[in-house]
Structure 1
């Protein structure tokens, strides 16, 4: 962990590579679709701490993550992935055209 005890959510989303730029992260937060510990947030300055749970609406579906450590920078993908844990690993919907249960045609 860094010497900081919290990080702005817009900066965190950019560092963890969920947003392509910090300004896109700010816009995403302002839309009000992100939840922090079950609470809807709309301010890019909202502080995120280790252990917090984020619900992120992504194109592929909703992703729930727990922040493990606060990143110091926007590093490589592997470094970013090491800072959080995905809590909904089984929750991705099937792709269009795929059978939900192939055992029952």
Structure 2
């Protein structure tokens, strides 16, 4: 981010649009699909409901949103530079969903 002098400010945290990050991380096939889910009020950033696709997010934020038939909870580890392959996209976040634990009665 540029400071008042027009030069990059080293203290400014890197930020990216929410809809763009969800698309780059391969949670949605297009930015317009991601934007539609956000505008519907179905996405939370750090527990706060958002409805603007242009909301800035940064590393360390926690997102909660529906995907398919389940609710996803992820922590942003990095902001992507592009929509790359799936392995690259998976490095952008940490999945906070509890893994399916085996049933102790079985």
TM-score where L is the length of structure 1: 0.81
Matched, 1:39 2:48: yes
Pick the aligned partner of 1:55 from 52, 64, 70: 64
1:85-96 equivalence runs, <5 A: 85-90=94-99
Distance 2:54 2:25 in 1: 16
**Structure 2: which 5+ residue stretches go unaligned?**
1-9
> After the TM superposition, which segments of 4 or more aligned residues of structure 1 sit over 6 Å from their partners?
none
Structure 2 match to 1:64: 73
Distance 2:18 2:95 in 1: 17
Structure 2 match to 1:79: 88
1:10-25 equivalence runs, <5 A: 10-25=19-34
Shift in Å at residue 24 of structure 1? 1.1
Shift in Å at residue 28 of structure 1? 1.1
SS in 2 for 1:29: helix
Distance 1:41 1:16 in 2: 18
